[in-house]
Amino acid sequence: MKIGYSTITWGGVVGHPAGVTAIKDLFYLANGDALTAISDISSAGYQGTEMFDGNLAAFADRPDVLLDALKKAQLELVAVYTGANFIYDDILEDELHKISQAAKLASEFGASRLVVGGGAQRARGEQPDDMAKLGRALDKVVEIAASFGLECTYHPHLGTIVESPDALERLMGLSQIKFCPDTAHLTAGGGNPVELIEK
């Protein structure tokens, strides 16, 4: 087994400010220095890392800088994390455009996996077709990821409609996407991570 560590710890999570007016540009971003994170993760003895799509996008016009840092650190870019609202019909096309850009970046930087979170929580609560919409959208994401040679998994997360074990089970029955567990979020959502992973 190989153990990796995400660069999220360096600076915490922010959203790209362009996303306020353009959903298609709303990448996730760790606010810290990605190159420092890579060096620190390697120094601590980890073998791989996961990065946000926005942190990769920052190196899109100078890929050698990030690739050289990963090589020097002997660190594998295992996965790229992205996500979207997914349940709003009017913006789904732009959300999937962004996912496609994230998958392209992941492939170009040598990752093998695309990790996806999301499924918005509505102000008025989950509507009858929301979970089915999420399942259909995630199937499209799986196709996008596969077109770039990536395995695709779903990450249940607080603040989405997939917080509880029940919601996770409903979603997994509606999509072909695979499961990426986060033990903290599964626990906080009322689940037993070991049981959910085994299931």
Q: What is the tens place of the pLDDT at every residue in 156-176?
A: 999 999 999 999 999 999 999
Using the Cα atoms of residue 101, residue 84, residue 50 and residue 172 in order, give the sign of their dihedral: negative
Question: Cα-flanking dihedrals φ and ψ of residue 28, to 5°?
Answer: -80, 155
The CATH number fitting domain 4-198, selected from 3.20.20.150, 3.30.70.3270, 3.40.50.300, 3.30.1330.10: 3.20.20.150
Amino acid letter, 130: D
Q: Which of 16, 23, 22 is nearest to 60 (CA)?
A: 16
pTM of the predicted protein model: 0.94
Which of the four pLDDT bands, split at 50, 70 and 90, describes residue 7?
A: very high
Largest CA-CA distance found in the chain, in angstroms, rounded: 50
pLDDT of residue 17 exceeding 80, the answer is no
Which of the four pLDDT bands, split at 50, 70 and 90, describes residue 1?
A: confident
pLDDT of residue 53 exceeding 90, the answer is yes
Instruction: Kindly compute the dihedral angle of the four CA atoms of residues 159, 113, 67, 39, in this order, to the nearest 10 degrees.
Output: 60
Residue 153, C-beta contacts closer than 8 angstroms, at least 6 positions apart: 113, 114, 115, 116, 177, 178, 179, 180
Instruction: Identify the pLDDT of residue 129.
Output: 97
